[in-house]
């Protein structure tokens, strides 16, 4: 069964450093998402992406964040200057056209 | 914007008994309500979903009910088993991009 894949599974970074999290959505999917989950808390929507542009973003997704689909298969989330509070599990997700959203295994980001 | 409330935060039931988790939502335009099961350190896994044109849906031991008038929906798990132990999240989908707004989660503990 096709899956959303994410890399890295875990990254530790110094505060202030840039981080890029990578995702390969399911190949025929058209809509892409990033969510984050701070340890022990609920999942929070960050951004949705469709037709090579951001379709919606939450208040969390400020100027420190950006997304890109550079080559038609990868979907990346960049955090320009990481803060301690960016430590979380980041989930990439995708869907084709129906409601069902498929999640990747997540990238655990630890900012020290 | 949409807000999803979920109760209880922790639910402990005897193996074989039923478990019920409840969620309320605020945006009457929300039209898709999935339930996810998340085991520690893993991605959320869709277990059942319901659309706003349906009042109830069942899949083996799992059922979901939706009351659009009252803006609440519930997850019912019958004949609970130890492997049902996990955190369960409800979510509501609003907007044309179907981004999910999540509840805070319910930790379900099945006692042997």
Per-residue pLDDT of chain B (112 residues), as tens digits, is 789 999 999 999 999 999 999 999 999 989 999 999 999 888 999 999 998 888 999 999 999 999 999 999 999 999 999 999 999 999 998 766 778 899 999 999 999 9
Q: How confident is the model at residue A97 (pLDDT cuts 50, 70, 90)?
A: confident
Rounded distance, CA A41 to CA B29, Å? 25
Structure tokens at A53: 């542009």
Kindly report, residue by residue over A43-75, the tens digit of the pLDDT: 999 999 998 999 999 999 999 999 999 887 899
Structure tokens at A89: 């599990």
**Cβ contact, residue pair B34, A95, below 8 Å:** no
Report yes or no: A107 at the B interface, CB cutoff 8 Å. no
Mean pLDDT of chain A, nearest integer: 93
Rounded distance, CA A6 to CA B9, Å? 29
Report yes or no: A56 at the B interface, CB cutoff 8 Å. yes
Give chain B positions within 8 Å (CB) of A95. Answer: 98
The neighbour count for residue A21, using CB atoms within 10 Å, is 23
A83 closest CA partner among A108, A58, A109, A106 = A109
Helix (H, G, I), strand (E, B) or coil at A22: strand
Report yes or no: A99 at the B interface, CB cutoff 8 Å. yes
Residues β-bridged to residue A63: none
Angstroms from A44 CA to nearest CA on chain B? 7
Give chain B positions within 8 Å (CB) of A104. Answer: 43
Rounded distance, CA B107 to CA B112, Å? 16
Rounded distance, CA A56 to CA A33, Å? 10
Structure tokens at A47: 């951004």
Nearest CA in chain B to A106: B43
Angstroms from A20 CA to nearest CA on chain B? 19
């Amino acid at each position: 069964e096709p899956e959303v894949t994410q890399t890295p599974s875990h990254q530790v970074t110094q505060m202030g450093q840039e981080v890029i999290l990578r995702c390969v959505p399911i190949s025929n999917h058209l809509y892409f998402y990033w969510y984050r989950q701070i340890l022990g808390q609920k999942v929070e929507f960050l951004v949705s992406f469709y037709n090579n542009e951001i379709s919606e973003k939450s208040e969390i997704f400020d100027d420190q964040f950006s997304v890109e689909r550079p080559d038609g298969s990868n979907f990346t989330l960049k955090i320009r200057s990481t803060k301690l509070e960016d430590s979380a599990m980041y989930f990439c997700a995708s869907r084709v056209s129906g409601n069902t959203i498929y999640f990747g295994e997540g990238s655990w980001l630890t900012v020290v | 914007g949409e807000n999803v409330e979920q109760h209880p935060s922790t639910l402990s039931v005897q193996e074989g008994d039923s478990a019920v988790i409840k969620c309320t939502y605020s945006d009457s335009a929300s039209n898709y309500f999935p339930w996810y099961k998340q085991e520690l350190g893993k991605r959320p896994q869709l277990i059942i979903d319901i659309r706003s044109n349906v009042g109830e849906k069942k899949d083996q031991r799992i059922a979901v009910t939706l009351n659009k008038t009252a803006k609440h929906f519930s997850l019912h798990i019958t004949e609970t088993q130890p492997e049902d132990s996990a955190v369960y999240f409800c979510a509501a989908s609003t907007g044309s991009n179907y981004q999910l707004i999540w509840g805070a989660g319910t930790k379900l503990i099945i006692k042997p």
